[in-house]
Chain A
Amino acid sequence: DTAVSQTPKYLVTQMGNDKSIKCEQNLGHDTMYWYKQDSKKFLKIMFSYNNKELIINETVPNRFSPKSPDKAHLNLHINSLELGDSAVYFCASRSAGADTQYFGPGTRLTVL
């Protein structure tokens, strides 16, 4: 009965490949987020979706494309992976009118 789940937990891939990370929340939340945590443990927002609509898109390369098939899912697709994409990616969700964000366990992406 995990609230926010991400798959896979670990992802090791070669430069130039295309990969996806999936996020699902079973909390009935309206808003979902993707964050990137770099090697220095610094968190930065990438995207935010509300009811399947994109509402925040930070200065992220267009190789990163979020896809929200429904309110409970926000997947992250990355094209042409680069070494600098290596990081831990966190998904989070929040209910409308509430302030607390619930984070997924993170996906550690390593690009070789």
Chain B
Amino acid sequence: EAAVTQSPRNKVAVTGGKVTLSCNQTNNHNNMYWYRQDTGHGLRLIHYSYGAGSTEKGDIPDGYKASRPSQENFSLILELATPSQTSVYFCASGDVGFPERLFFGHGTKLSVL
């Protein structure tokens, strides 16, 4: 079964601090995604990657950076965290079948105070 693991599960950060959310997948999928989920909105795409070394901007990339150092790992970085970035963040990997299916992690709940 596909496995996507996110860490940490919960994070409290201070405004202006740096936050790194990590994601690891054991599916050997090329594509990986970072979404955020807020009340009143569906999941919204922040960054995605086609493979190691690549990162692409999604619909709401402002205030976020991404890093894909290997096939397995995809990180989301908040250099200067703000309270508006308080949210639940989901990482997903996508299989190579057509059409693609996404496999999600359990999410990281981030609170920026």
Tell me whether A and B are bound partners: no
A: residues with CB less than 8 A from B are none
B: residues with CB less than 8 A from A are none
